Structure 1
Amino acid sequence: MLFRRLFQNKKGLWASLLAMLLLPALAHAFEPFVVRDIRVEGIQRIDAGTVFGYLPVKVGQKFTEDDATEAVRRLYGSGFFSDVRVDTDRDVVVVTVQERATIASISFNGMREFDSKAITDSLKQVGFAEGRIFDRSMLERAEFELKQQYMTKGKYGVEVTATVTPLPRNRVGISFDIFEGEVARIREIHFVGNKAFSESELLDQIQLTTPGWLTWYTDTDKYSREKLEGDVERIRSFYLDRGYLEFTSEAPQVTISPDRKDIFITFTLHEGEPYKVRSVKLAGNLLGLDSEINKLVKIKAGDTFSAAEVNDTNKAITDYLGELGYAFANVNPNPQMDRAKHEADLTFYVDPSRRVYVRRIQIGGNTRTRDEVVRREMRQQEAAWYDAGDIKMSRDRIDRLGYFNDVNVKTEPVPGSPDQVDVNVDVKEKPTGMINLGVGYGSTDRAILSAGISEDNVFGSGTNLTLQLNTSATNRSAVLSHTDPYWTKDGISRTTSLYYRQTRPFLENDGEYRVKTYGLGMNFGIPISEYDRITLGGSFERNQIDLYDDSPQAYQNFVNQYGDSTNAFIFQTGWQKDTRDSALAPNKGYFTKVQAQASTMDLKYTMLTGQQQYYLPLGRSYTLALNGMIDWGTAYGGKDFPVIKDVYAGGIGTVRGYEGSSLGPRDTLTGDYLGGARRIVANAQLYLPFPGANKDRTLRWFIFTDAGQVKAGSGMTCTAGKASDPVTDPCGWRFSAGIGLSWQSPLGPLQLSYARPLNQKPGDDSQSFQFQIGTGF
């Protein structure tokens, strides 16, 4: 007796239905029998047990024609086979199959816009992946998905060609050849239905633009579906912030030119009328804090409705309740509109939920830094009530350590304990060892090289150890210092330093001299608040000056007054405040520093120093940085201010575009840069995102302008240098502007700048290109 089924189809369901329809016409009837054995033929990769699992009978059971039909249906329905045949031979069921090919490999040629792994994961979502059964219809879906991915990037001209290569053991390799083409550019953007605001006002609110003189850099004229969706939301927020509660917009109409290179976008708006706030109420469980919460409401009766002010109120109330331990507080604003009068009654429903306390603080991601280094910066304590303010402050303090590229603090409920949460602090460590290099090239055809090495996190202990060696043409120095930020458990820091410096003339053709300084110092930092610290300390210095026949007149005058060897004990005290959100790449906050020095013994002088930095975020991607420094020195005891303690300006860190240390008085005999006892420097720097860096704030380019001046100080005059080559107004203001690049490289902060002086005077030494590693602002 012979039972045969022959069938082949791409769809398992249709295959099984057709097999059942053809069964009576194609099969010879057979008498039911007890199965003595089951034999599977034609399998290559699939295990025989898989086939047995789809059969409706087993050895020892009765086999009928209905069972044969069901076996064919199940095996086709599995999708593993392109042909199935069931025969009987002397109480033996013989199942003969032809396997479908499987996908052994997927490769992409010519794909540059996407990462191959990301696209492979995307294709897996539509069922096309290595190890899956090869299906022509699924291949077409994969090609369609690839094109869709490119269209979201605005590349409508993309061409995708799939090549199927047969491989041994009934496998295939799939290769996608991709011609990406160019991104379609936005040729026109129009608004329809706008009456309250002009098209130009609305265009200012969106990110996408038509081609302009800067779009080669910003790429805002390149169409992207994600950007368009974001712009729809921006337009909606713009109207809601101005009271248009009934505002709606239709899906933007996007058309493309026949050559697939130009995009035309039309926004259709339904504005409605602006609404006034008639009343503002609080409802829900206010915990008896009605007056305190009322003070946080930013929108008042009589104001034009503003979604931004509503959101600010939500955040303020949520943050306030979070500081009281209500980690899961929820505030829901509900405006009830009077459409006839265009007024709204606004009610904030407050649900503080439950008050919770922190069970455990867990530190993760720190493979090198000890837990205690992170924990001592935490202001939220274990077994204490949850405080959102303390958690935010803890996160900022950990970030300001400078040991981590990323700090993420999350709060998670404790399962089974509704009144407890765990605080998880996840950090991503960065190299804290830093090699400092500095190179400058200027109009005088001279190079300066300095080098040093420091470790901010020695053995993960949170202490700093620095060895700085300077091998420039003007300085030879060695500084060994150690800082323990937690010398005491209360956070008092201690810095010990041992240093040697040797100073030579700044230019090769200057008068010859040598100033050697040996010193030992110790300073303490005392925290007086979360952001404020007082510094106290002192150092002992010995200075030795070697003069020659052509030494500068200023240094000869110094030796005549003080002698060629001097000892000094320098007292130092100061105060600093740091609210910056990051030590790595600040985006907001400020840094203030005030310091006073008083020297006794042979050198009698005082020096006051102040510095102020501001970081102001301008949107999500831009930061304006402002910096100001002032130094004011004076001598006492009837002598001039010691020239060896002068301060300098010019170059990176002060006024870029001018030769390093070149601003201020020049020696009348040799033309040496002398610096001065008084210095004022101001910098303004606008950070912009680097193309392709997305949200990475460690790589940014910037435009800047600098200003500064150096004055001689007490007992000295603003000398202009040699009579044969004087500088015009050496102590006057100097200005510059330029562009630069800032990168937090593995070797330390890198800064490249190209600057041009704005008011260069005769005799000034300029230096356009400057490069330095290991310098901040």
Structure 2
Amino acid sequence: MKTIQNRLRGVSLTAAASLLLTALPAWAVDPFTLKDIRVEGLQRIEPGTVFASLPFRIGEQYNDEKGSTAIRSLFSLGLFTDVRLQVDDGVLVVIVEERPSVADVSFSGIKEFDSEILKKSLRDVGLAEGRPYDKALVDRAEQELKRQYINKSMYAAQVVTTVTPDERNRVNLNFSVVEGDVAKIKDIRIVGNQAFSESTLRDLFDLDTGGLMSWYTKSDRYSRAKLNADLESLRSHYLTRGYLEFRVESTQVAISPDKQDMSVTINITEGNRFVVASVALEGEYLGKENEFKSMVAMRAGEAYNAEDVTRTVKAFTDYFGAFGYAFAQVEAVPNIDRTTNRVAFTFRAQPSRRAYVRRINVVGNSRTRDEVIRREFRQLESAWYDSDRIRLSRDRVDRLGYFTEVGIATEPVPGTNDQVDLTVTVAEKPTGNLSIGAGYSQADKLSFIGSIKQENVFGSGNYLGLDLNTSKFNRQFVLSTTNPYFTPDGISRTLDAYYKTTRPYDAQGGDYEIATTGAGIKFGVPFTERDTVFFGIGAERVKVTSGDQLPEAYLDQGGTYIPTTLGWARDERDSALVPTSGRLQRFNTEFGAGGTRPYVKLNYQFQQYVPLSRKYTLAFNTEFGVGKGLNGKAFPVLRNFYGGGLGSVRGFEQGTLGPTSAVLGSTTGETVNVGGARNLVANLEFIAPFPGAGNDRTLRWFGFVDVGNVYGESESVDLSLLRSSAGVGLSWISPIGPLRFAYATPIRKFDGDRIQRFQFQIGTSF
């Protein structure tokens, strides 16, 4: 029996192969025909894995060259620490020694990360439960863990690995981590500035030396990515103010010996400030030179502004794209005169060739169905490339509200000169909300409260909402669903069904009840990309059971209501969640002609957002509403407008402005607010980043002034009765939804007004 063997205990594969080839002459065997092949030493690995790596089969000729090839192939699998070949009377025996496998990966001392996140990062470097153990992989895993901590500015983190043998040739790995403290930025210096103060330039940065909100923003934790973004902000600041030759010469980042403090020094050269001398066009402009000239954002005599140059190049490229020229090349060539500090620009254009979109690919939608994204696209496959339609498509997908990021990349099709593919990349975000609660009181006994809201149920793009409250005094069941594409053309349909009852608390000494049962259907028809018209019809049955403490205004409000609605909305805001520019308009008409008390109700809302700078926004909101009874009957009280509180005039208790009604059975002249048929509200807000939060748009503060009131149907709109307030507030896009807190002080109030200075809400703005 002859044996050809090689042991790889701490020896590299290349060295092992060389050692094997050197040893072969001493173990050479004459070629022979294989009668059988056996494998020994396997514990977990399937024999088929070994046989698939052998360069020979039973019945084939075996020689030394094939034997050495077999050993190299088996070692290259990375599954074995030892491989031997034994030859005995035409039978080849392959003897292997498996590497231990990883039975378990655990962590100790970890506070900053969730263990599942770290396990995922280790899987990315090849170390995971069930995979072969390799000391080199463990070393890489330690470096990966340290890298994760460095990304969190924890430079002092130490990692020690403990390997514990287990049964069946397995090992347990434990990574013991001493995290240490977070290294924080203690100093940021900018050297070489003359035109602007250092404090002005540092205000451009998201990184800082710490402040009131650093615990939330982590702005005092160093990050190379954040520093690069801040350097771009610095560069943009200079390049948009005439400093054409501005440069960041170097950046030094120093860390203290105890790895707790960091200093950042940025060396810059400002250069001279340049003025635009002239602007000219060269190249092929499709015979539309006048149209292209109107898109030039820079003018002779103005200071050089890099954003104007970029805006002009983009406008030219987009305009070419609107005619199908996806590969248009536009170049802005400066001619600098340093003696006069003037620069002349020439825009050279070459439209190249027209292209059409071959395919649209969607990437990143792990939950949302492809069709939900594709139906928002206005650029079609096999159609000419149109940059306007592509941009509109991206905006429509973004406005769905299902994704944190939406991007579209254009990729040329290999082997063609007139085709492109579009790749839509999205990042999903949670779109559902679930709340469940229970309470117990002497009045209510046991009550259950639950709410389920899902804007993208099952990834279909449909909305489903369910509210349930079993309280004895305020019971409700509300079911609502919206299909935004009830028809392929984008007509939406909303269905509502509800049952609500309201009773006074026992402490009030009353026993009346108002029960409302209703259902409705509404459709939304998109007339343009920004305009939608809504219309619908509903049916509602109201039953008022009289008793003590019933407001007199509700005495005759029972009956049937059949409201039909017709409305219009135009949304031109840059964001539905955190708007900084644009306009929103809504107009709604509710016509209740077929019920017990016919009426008409009109409402108009207007919002305008004006960006004052990159950080600051001025926002204005106003609402007008009017209702009137028909056929000689009064406007139904249950359809009244309400004023006061968030969404109206802050600082006044919610819904307490306007007319009141006497209470049945009251001996003290008690009254309650019942709203009114006319509504007037105006709000003005100045929005800014929260102090210490840098430029984080998810956390902002605002100062506001509110004016408004509610009037009865027979009352004139007396402006002298308007209530007003002023205050400050906080807006936070939190994990549970948008939160708004406001503290207001009434400026104009009257006797009997109910004041509530601190208020908060989850949801809409204003």
User: What TM-score results when the alignment is normalised by the length of structure 2?
Assistant: 0.73
- Evaluate the alpha carbon distance shift between residue 130 and residue 527 of structure 1 in structure 2; reply closer, same or farther with a 3 A threshold: closer
**1:590 and 2:597 are equivalent in the alignment:** no
Q: Distance in 1 between matches of 2:184 and 2:508?
A: 58
1:543-571 C-alpha deviation (Å, 9 max, x unpaired):
77666676546567xx6xxxx77888767
- Evaluate the alpha carbon distance shift between residue 188 and residue 168 of structure 1 in structure 2; reply closer, same or farther with a 3 A threshold: same
The correspondence of residues 187-336 of structure 1 with structure 2, limited to 5 A, is: 187-336=186-335
The correspondence of residues 50-65 of structure 1 with structure 2, limited to 5 A, is: none
**Secondary structure at the residue paired with 2:250?**
coil
Q: Distance in 2 between matches of 1:507 and 1:254?
A: 68
Q: Distance in 1 between matches of 2:540 and 2:651?
A: 33
Q: Distance in 1 between matches of 2:560 and 2:13?
A: 98
Q: Do the aligned partners of 2:659 and 2:712 also contact (CA within 8 Å) in 1?
A: no
Deviates more, 1:644-653 or 1:374-383: 374-383
Give 1:672 shift: 0.8
Q: Do the aligned partners of 1:19 and 1:72 also contact (CA within 8 Å) in 2?
A: no
The correspondence of residues 748-767 of structure 1 with structure 2, limited to 5 A, is: 750=737, 754-759=741-746, 763-765=752-754
The correspondence of residues 426-465 of structure 1 with structure 2, limited to 5 A, is: none
The residue aligned with 1:608 is 602
Q: Distance in 2 between matches of 1:91 and 1:568?
A: 97
The correspondence of residues 334-349 of structure 1 with structure 2, limited to 5 A, is: 334-349=333-348
Q: Distance in 2 between matches of 1:468 and 1:77?
A: 61
* Residue of 571, 578, 582 corresponding to 1:578: 571
The correspondence of residues 157-172 of structure 1 with structure 2, limited to 5 A, is: 157-167=156-166, 172=171
- Evaluate the alpha carbon distance shift between residue 324 and residue 660 of structure 1 in structure 2; reply closer, same or farther with a 3 A threshold: same
Letter in 2 for 1:681: V
Give 1:179 shift: 1.0
Q: Distance in 2 between matches of 1:93 and 1:522?
A: 79
- Evaluate the alpha carbon distance shift between residue 339 and residue 90 of structure 1 in structure 2; reply closer, same or farther with a 3 A threshold: farther
Give 1:332 shift: 3.1
1:41-63 C-alpha deviation (Å, 9 max, x unpaired):
99778998899889xxx987689
Q: Distance in 2 between matches of 1:98 and 1:580?
A: 66
- Evaluate the alpha carbon distance shift between residue 744 and residue 620 of structure 1 in structure 2; reply closer, same or farther with a 3 A threshold: farther
Aligned-residue RMSD, C-alpha: 6.1
* Residue of 625, 631, 635 corresponding to 1:631: 625
- Evaluate the alpha carbon distance shift between residue 329 and residue 113 of structure 1 in structure 2; reply closer, same or farther with a 3 A threshold: farther
Q: Do the aligned partners of 2:745 and 2:757 also contact (CA within 8 Å) in 1?
A: no
Q: Do the aligned partners of 2:108 and 2:176 also contact (CA within 8 Å) in 1?
A: yes
The residue aligned with 1:726 is none
Q: Do the aligned partners of 1:655 and 1:736 also contact (CA within 8 Å) in 2?
A: no
Q: Do the aligned partners of 1:285 and 1:352 also contact (CA within 8 Å) in 2?
A: yes
Deviates more, 1:422-431 or 1:343-352: 422-431
Letter in 2 for 1:159: Q
**1:672 and 2:681 are equivalent in the alignment:** no
**1:733 and 2:724 are equivalent in the alignment:** yes
1:456-492 C-alpha deviation (Å, 9 max, x unpaired):
7899987778777787888777777787766777666
Q: Distance in 1 between matches of 2:584 and 2:679?
A: 19
1:664-691 C-alpha deviation (Å, 9 max, x unpaired):
3334642211322332334567899999
Give 1:325 shift: 1.9
Deviates more, 1:333-342 or 1:491-500: 491-500
Q: Distance in 2 between matches of 1:436 and 1:9?
A: 58
| Structure 2: gaps spanning 5 or more residues | 663-668
- Evaluate the alpha carbon distance shift between residue 488 and residue 8 of structure 1 in structure 2; reply closer, same or farther with a 3 A threshold: closer
**1:662 and 2:649 are equivalent in the alignment:** no
- Evaluate the alpha carbon distance shift between residue 337 and residue 641 of structure 1 in structure 2; reply closer, same or farther with a 3 A threshold: same
- Evaluate the alpha carbon distance shift between residue 507 and residue 185 of structure 1 in structure 2; reply closer, same or farther with a 3 A threshold: farther
- Evaluate the alpha carbon distance shift between residue 238 and residue 588 of structure 1 in structure 2; reply closer, same or farther with a 3 A threshold: closer
The correspondence of residues 84-163 of structure 1 with structure 2, limited to 5 A, is: 106-114=105-113, 143-144=142-143, 146-163=145-162
Bigger radius of gyration: 1
Letter in 2 for 1:663: L
**Secondary structure at the residue paired with 2:672?**
coil
Q: Distance in 2 between matches of 1:740 and 1:53?
A: 68
Letter in 2 for 1:183: V
1:370-421 C-alpha deviation (Å, 9 max, x unpaired):
94x7665443345432222223333444554567777665555555554344
1:430-478 C-alpha deviation (Å, 9 max, x unpaired):
88887799999xxxx9x99987778878999877787777878887777
Letter in 1 for 2:200: E
Q: Distance in 2 between matches of 1:98 and 1:437?
A: 56
Q: Do the aligned partners of 2:103 and 2:170 also contact (CA within 8 Å) in 1?
A: yes
Q: Distance in 1 between matches of 2:40 and 2:276?
A: 77
Q: Distance in 2 between matches of 1:3 and 1:459?
A: 62
Q: Distance in 1 between matches of 2:357 and 2:512?
A: 64
**Secondary structure at the residue paired with 2:244?**
coil
The residue aligned with 1:725 is none
Deviates more, 1:412-421 or 1:131-140: 131-140
User: What TM-score results when the alignment is normalised by the length of structure 1?
Assistant: 0.72
- Evaluate the alpha carbon distance shift between residue 417 and residue 510 of structure 1 in structure 2; reply closer, same or farther with a 3 A threshold: farther
- Evaluate the alpha carbon distance shift between residue 470 and residue 589 of structure 1 in structure 2; reply closer, same or farther with a 3 A threshold: farther
**Secondary structure at the residue paired with 1:335?**
strand
* Residue of 644, 654, 673 corresponding to 1:650: 644
Q: Do the aligned partners of 2:619 and 2:687 also contact (CA within 8 Å) in 1?
A: yes
Deviates more, 1:195-204 or 1:476-485: 476-485
Percent sequence identity over aligned pairs: 42
Letter in 1 for 2:675: G
| Structure 1: gaps spanning 5 or more residues | 720-728
The correspondence of residues 547-566 of structure 1 with structure 2, limited to 5 A, is: 552=551
Q: Distance in 1 between matches of 2:52 and 2:461?
A: 59
**Secondary structure at the residue paired with 2:242?**
coil
The correspondence of residues 369-518 of structure 1 with structure 2, limited to 5 A, is: 371=371, 377-400=376-399, 413-414=412-413, 416-422=415-421, 509=508
**Secondary structure at the residue paired with 2:641?**
coil
- Evaluate the alpha carbon distance shift between residue 448 and residue 325 of structure 1 in structure 2; reply closer, same or farther with a 3 A threshold: farther
Q: Do the aligned partners of 1:2 and 1:30 also contact (CA within 8 Å) in 2?
A: no
Deviates more, 1:257-266 or 1:415-424: 415-424
Q: Distance in 2 between matches of 1:682 and 1:507?
A: 38
Give 1:619 shift: 8.7
**Secondary structure at the residue paired with 2:162?**
strand
- Evaluate the alpha carbon distance shift between residue 255 and residue 569 of structure 1 in structure 2; reply closer, same or farther with a 3 A threshold: closer
The residue aligned with 2:665 is none
Letter in 2 for 1:733: S
Q: Distance in 2 between matches of 1:553 and 1:101?
A: 84
Q: Do the aligned partners of 1:659 and 1:765 also contact (CA within 8 Å) in 2?
A: yes
Q: Distance in 1 between matches of 2:192 and 2:33?
A: 77
Q: Distance in 2 between matches of 1:11 and 1:589?
A: 67
Give 1:592 shift: 0.5
1:588-643 C-alpha deviation (Å, 9 max, x unpaired):
54321123456669857654321123466799999876543222346688887654
- Evaluate the alpha carbon distance shift between residue 124 and residue 12 of structure 1 in structure 2; reply closer, same or farther with a 3 A threshold: same
Q: Distance in 2 between matches of 1:422 and 1:193?
A: 46
